Amino acid sequence: MKNLSKKALASWDKVCLPQAAGGLNVLNLCRWNKAAIIKQLWSIAQKKDCLWIKWVHSYYIKKQTFDSCPIPKTTAWVIRKILETRDTIMQQVMVQGDLLAKLGKMQNKDDSFSIKKMMATADRLQMIGIQAPMACVFCHGGIETHEYLFFECPVTGALWLRLLTWLGYIRNRGDAKHELQWVCSMAKRKSGLGAVTRCAYAMAVYVIWRERNLLRFQKSTYDEDRDSREIAVHIHIRGQNLRKWRKPLSLLSSYPY
């Protein structure tokens, strides 16, 4: 019997990606734990009206400033872990400001990581001192910012409009913030079309960012037909096991034309 390789067939990071991004949607408990700790740190920073928060301030922080108070050796293990997270927050160079400002931006409930303008676009790289070509790799006619990439660029905007037309929407394309708000409002609807729209948006963001990296670092070519078909196939396959999706998907053509 041949020796089987013990090498994993897929990396853990890929397995933990959402299904809309090609993963299995497995929870990364390490990241969830960090997020939960940061949430508690934010509660302490905001002096939330909670008994244990008041106890932390009166017993450990006292009259000191929250962002610089030392951690006594006798501090409880849980409180120590929460306060030690301050150093982790300050190391996040992609989020500007002091500790409270960074915590506030991380607690913004309007966006997810990929929509929070935290992607390493050319303008953000320049902000932290990393030199990179500023031109959009899709159209070569604008500066690569979050807003331009999603979807002010005529190339990426055409892909998004193509998906909207495929889904049956007749509307003008707005800026990045407006489109996100519109998708969020559609996702709150109980109809299956709202969920399909949300999935299409997530896939569009994922595909555009992937293609952007391939164009920038591997000098590949962009094909709108190929990417729109990929998104449509993913949605159709995923919708086979979701009863609410079946009716809206039955009304759609196989691919966006």
> Above pLDDT 70, what percent of the chain?
85
Question: Which of the pair, 95 or 26, is modelled with greater confidence?
Answer: 26
- Tell me the backbone φ, ψ of residue 82, rounded to 5 degrees: -65, -45
Does the structure show a pLDDT above 80 at 173? yes
pLDDT digits (tens, 9 = 90+) for 105-120: 665 544 444 455 567 8
Per-residue model confidence (pLDDT) at position 136: 94
Q: Are residues 187 and 195 in contact, defined by beta-carbon separation less than 8 angstroms?
A: yes
pLDDT digits (tens, 9 = 90+) for 129-138: 888 899 999 9
Q: Which residues pair with 143 in a beta bridge?
A: 135
- Nearest CA to 206 out of 170, 225, 234, 181 is that of 234
Q: Are residues 238 and 183 in contact, defined by beta-carbon separation less than 8 angstroms?
A: no
Single-letter amino acid, residue 14: K
- Tell me the backbone φ, ψ of residue 172, rounded to 5 degrees: -80, 145
Tell me how crowded residue 249 is: count the other CB atoms within 10 A of its CB.
18
Does the structure show a pLDDT above 60 at 206? yes
Q: Which residues pair with 101 in a beta bridge?
A: none
pLDDT digits (tens, 9 = 90+) for 139-155: 999 999 988 999 999 99
10 Cβ contact list (under 8 Å, min separation 6): none
pLDDT digits (tens, 9 = 90+) for 55-114: 888 888 888 887 888 888 888 888 888 888 888 877 775 566 677 777 776 655 444 444
DSSP class of 135: B
Per-residue model confidence (pLDDT) at position 139: 94
The reported pTM is 0.60
Which token pair is 197? 């729209």
What are the boundaries of each domain within the chain?
Answer: 29-105, 133-251
